[in-house]
Amino acid sequence: IMSIVGRWVGIQCYKHDGAVHRCWDRGFVLENSHDYIVIASRRAKVVENNGRRWFTKEPAITIFSKHEWWNAICMIKNDGICYYCNIASPSMIDRDVIKYIDYDLDAKLFPNGEVRVLDEKEYAHHRDSYGYDDELDKILKYTMKFIIERMKKHEFPFQENIVRDYYQSFLEMTAKKE
């Protein structure tokens, strides 16, 4: 298997029924370990399932867990790093595309330390409409509690020094290629 580290890949996010929810045109792979895929992006093009297109505003490091039910987008803003954590299926790589299923529940950690849980109504709606079973519901709710604890304790991946180191690696690796 050829290493994807140092290459650009796409990202595809699905819903529980297999429908494509959102796609990012590119992320630069910094790490592909047994547990995580780490990518960096700047001005990535995003296409929503309704056809709306937009570009990400700030540089970001995204950490996709391969075994746990989350991925975290670490947005590098002027006032610090803002972490947006999707409760989602473990991620996988299929050719040059990172794929996962989004389960609506999200948590956000702001630079000032505030933690906010998002999209609980959307989750309840989709749990019914997509028919998430009790086992899946338990996994997703457990993961949300686990992520909030990690956010409050600033445990991986919610650690500014790690995110800044990954971003520095991205700048160095892409500078060599240009």
Residues annotated catalytic, as ranges = 22
List the Cα angle 153/156/160 in 5-degree steps.
85
Q: 140 phi and psi, to 5 degrees?
A: -65, -40
DSSP state of 42: S
* Nearest CA-CA partner of 88 in 44, 29, 150, 22: 22
Q: Let me know: does 52 contact 24? Beta carbons within 8 Å.
A: no
